[in-house]
Chain A
Amino acid sequence: MQPPAQTQAPQDGYAGDEPSYAKAVLNILEDYSEERSRQIDSHRAVLNILDDFDIEKSKVEAANRRLEERTAELGRSNEELERFAYAASHDLQEPLRMITSYTQLLARRYRGRLDSDADEFIDFVVDGATRMSALIRDVLDFSRVGSSPPELTWTACEQVLERALANLRGVVGETGALVTHGPLPTVLADAAQFVQLFQNLIDNGVKFCLETPPRVHIAAQPADDGWTFTFRDNGIGVSGAHHARIFQVFQQLHSRAYPGTGIGLATCKKIVDRHGGHLWVESEPGSGSTFSFTLPDRPTAPVAPPRPAARDTA
């Protein structure tokens, strides 16, 4: 602000010097007016900044809304896919049952009565149909896990184990497998999914066996905010390079030498993930495997879908 123009020292007021008085007032008014102008410019600049900020803010809000919509769309699309997988596998079972049943009937009733080529052909058909049946059943189990959120109830794991073993009666009987366990807790979990989880882990532990009888030992340890379950087997083991791969769908390490559809472990991972836990394996070829998973005391589905694990170099 410029100093006011020099004025003559007032002498008994300005009465005797009207032109300089008027000039002084005019100067003051001019200065004031310039100052006002500058203030208005400042204000305008601030308002412009605020406007820009508002514009940026709405851009960010719009982007956020699009992101939320996209996420909701993906969620819906995912659910649709899971429902489709469930419906498709369910509907595929019936015609498959016809193929399996009648080729088995053919095999039985006409074995030795047609030529040996026919016997062999029938065997291939029955084998193919049986494998397809197992695949469809496993896809059904896998998609069922995703089709609804886990129904959490107080679940006694010892009973879960009994149920799983009952379902595995055939496999356990055939292989002479020995399944043992330490004390198992009662936890908050989806009981049906836990049966599936235990069943798949035991089945996996039993079918890739090195020595007979296959053994699986199940234990549970309290962890920081929940439990850690371990399934230890004396099977063929898994090399470190493949530890991540085995939990992916259809990733089988041995094509026909050992039975399996390549979905069982992926289903286990899905169940554990949906309970907010983590599933992993410790294993070396030839020395069995220990599959472990955590279960938080308060199981929740993960808030954001877990980022896919980095692709294995295997």
Chain B
Amino acid sequence: MRATPVRVLLVEDNPGDVRLIREALAGSKALMCIDVVSDGEQALAFLRREGTFADAAPPHLVLLDLNLPVLDGREMLAAMAADPALRDIPVVVLTTSAAQNDIRGCYELNANCYLTKPTDLDEFVRVVQLVENLWLSTAKLPEPVSP
């Protein structure tokens, strides 16, 4: 059992989905801290601790929706893959699209896992809890690098 909370950066612009994900993660036994940003540009600024995010604590895991305003999830993934400081941060994509070219594209950009948001509530909760179980409670994640 971790002593310090596992930190998750949730990049999601739909407040309904943000709430659903929080609800689904609420039952977790793991100590968890969720930061939310609503577009890819803010997400990169958060990860690089720029501007308003200068004091942000670096996350262990990024949970990423692809359909975002300003800078979409695919572009953000590309930026992370190209940045040596961000390349190693694990990313789990949780998005509506089930299109093969989106799936392949994300894995090519170093995404660790691709999940499609289920339409059914129970399924949605189950998938989010699966992510929590595997990625946050079981898998070993690199400790985020503090400056």
Q: Which of B119, B122, B124 contacts A93 (CB 8 A)?
A: B119
Minimum C-beta distance from B14 to chain A (A): 7
A137 pairs with B23, CB closer than 8 A:
no
CA distance A93 to B116 in the complex (A): 12
A105 pairs with B119, CB closer than 8 A:
no
B16 pairs with A98, CB closer than 8 A:
yes
A101 contacts chain B at the CB level, 8 A cutoff = yes
5 further A-B contacts with Cβ under 8 Å, apart from A90-B96, A97-B119, are A93-B119, A94-B14, A98-B16, A101-B20, A102-B16
CA distance A255 to B104 in the complex (A): 40
A contact residues, range: 10 to 19
B120 contacts chain A at the CB level, 8 A cutoff = yes
A267 contacts chain B at the CB level, 8 A cutoff = no
A97 pairs with B23, CB closer than 8 A:
no
29 contacts between A and B (CB under 8 A): A90-B96, A90-B97, A93-B96, A93-B119, A94-B14, A94-B96, A96-B119, A97-B96, A97-B117, A97-B119, A97-B124, A98-B14, A98-B16, A98-B17, A100-B119, A100-B120, A100-B121, A101-B16, A101-B20, A101-B121, A101-B124, A102-B16, A104-B121, A104-B122, A105-B23, A105-B121, A133-B119, A133-B120, A137-B119
CA distance A97 to B124 in the complex (A): 10
- Which of chain A's residues have a CB closer than 8 A to the CB of B117? 97
Q: Which positions in B face A, CB cutoff 8 Å? A: 14, 16-17, 20, 23, 96-97, 117, 119-122, 124
Most A CB contacts (10 A, CB to CB) among B16, B23, B117, B122 go to B16
- Which of chain B's residues have a CB closer than 8 A to the CB of A102? 16
- Which of chain B's residues have a CB closer than 8 A to the CB of A137? 119
For the A-B complex, the count of residue pairs with Cβ-Cβ distances under 8 Å equals 29
Minimum C-beta distance from B127 to chain A (A): 12
Q: Which positions in A face B, CB cutoff 8 Å? A: 90, 93-94, 96-98, 100-102, 104-105, 133, 137
Minimum C-beta distance from A103 to chain B (A): 9
- Which of chain B's residues have a CB closer than 8 A to the CB of A96? 119
- Which of chain A's residues have a CB closer than 8 A to the CB of B97? 90
Of chain A, the residue at the smallest CB distance from B118 is A97
- Which of chain A's residues have a CB closer than 8 A to the CB of B121? 100-101, 104-105
Most A CB contacts (10 A, CB to CB) among B14, B16, B97, B119 go to B119
Minimum C-beta distance from A178 to chain B (A): 25
- Which of chain B's residues have a CB closer than 8 A to the CB of A93? 96, 119
Minimum C-beta distance from A83 to chain B (A): 13
Minimum C-beta distance from B97 to chain A (A): 8
CA distance A96 to B23 in the complex (A): 19
CA distance A104 to B96 in the complex (A): 19
CA distance A102 to B17 in the complex (A): 10
- Which of chain B's residues have a CB closer than 8 A to the CB of A90? 96-97
CA distance A101 to B21 in the complex (A): 11
CA distance A97 to B120 in the complex (A): 7
- By Cβ-Cβ distance, the 6 closest A-B pairs, closest first, are A104-B121, A101-B121, A98-B16, A133-B119, A97-B119, A94-B96
CA distance A133 to B117 in the complex (A): 13
CA distance A22 to B47 in the complex (A): 119
CA distance A104 to B121 in the complex (A): 7
Minimum C-beta distance from B38 to chain A (A): 15
CA distance A94 to B117 in the complex (A): 9
- Which of chain B's residues have a CB closer than 8 A to the CB of A133? 119-120
CA distance A281 to B14 in the complex (A): 45
Of chain A, the residue at the smallest CB distance from B15 is A98
CA distance A98 to B14 in the complex (A): 10
CA distance A105 to B122 in the complex (A): 10
- Which of chain A's residues have a CB closer than 8 A to the CB of B17? 98
CA distance A133 to B119 in the complex (A): 8
Most B CB contacts (10 A, CB to CB) among A101, A102, A104 go to A101
CA distance A90 to B99 in the complex (A): 10
CA distance A96 to B14 in the complex (A): 13
CA distance A279 to B117 in the complex (A): 34
CA distance A90 to B119 in the complex (A): 12
CA distance A137 to B16 in the complex (A): 21
